[in-house]
Amino acid sequence: MSPLREGEAILAEWPADKERYWRSHAIMAVLGGALGGVVLLAIGNPTPWVGPVAAVLAMGVRAWYLASEALAGRWRLTTQRLQGPGGRQVSLGQITTVRPFFGDVQVISQAGDKHLMKYLADGAGVAAAIQSAKAGFNP
């Protein structure tokens, strides 16, 4: 993350939540497995159990492989902007929409840039904090 500007202060920081990360992947594995099994049944496959097993294994490998990168993600709300992983940042004055999105938070800027804050422990609380900071922002 870039250093703070003059007169800028940190209001809140949100690291990725490990429990939320693993729960999200478990849900995707169950849904993917059910869909895979249904598709295999629909096409008359004699071994439809392969779909759910493959989906669970695939999501498990994906979760394990991406965990270190995804869990290193951190978002920071300051008195002037929202900063995220990978150099993402948006000025509070440029934010047009902040909304919870399946437990995560979607932030949309005036330029149409969309940022998805993933694996947060309290998505609704984060959205409320960003809205509050935006309401008190004076450029």
For residue 24, give the DSSP letter: H
Look at residue 35 in the predicted model and tell me its pLDDT. 92
Look at residue 30 in the predicted model and tell me its pLDDT. 92
Task: List the Cα angle 59/63/65 in 5-degree steps.
Answer: 115
Instruction: Please give, one letter per residue, the 3-state secondary structure of 103-120.
Output: CEEEEEECCCCEEEECCC
Place of tokens 């902040």: 98
Tell me which residue of 133, 3, 24, 16 sits closest to 79, measured CA to CA.
Answer: 133
For residue 79, give the DSSP letter: S
pLDDT of 21 above 90: yes
Place of tokens 């934010």: 95
Q: Using one digit for the tens of pLDDT, what is the confidence trace for 46-78?
A: 998 998 999 999 999 999 999 999 999 899 999
pLDDT of 19 above 90: yes
Look at residue 102 in the predicted model and tell me its pLDDT. 84
Look at residue 8 in the predicted model and tell me its pLDDT. 87
pLDDT confidence tier of residue 7, bands split at 50, 70 and 90: confident
Q: Where in the chain is the domain with CATH 2.30.29?
A: 10-15+74-135
Which fold, 10-15+74-135?
Answer: PH-domain like (2.30.29)
Look at residue 62 in the predicted model and tell me its pLDDT. 93
Mean pLDDT value of segment 95-120: 93
In what helix (H) or strand (E) does residue 66 lie, and over which residues does it extend?
A: helix 50-71
pLDDT of 139 above 70: no
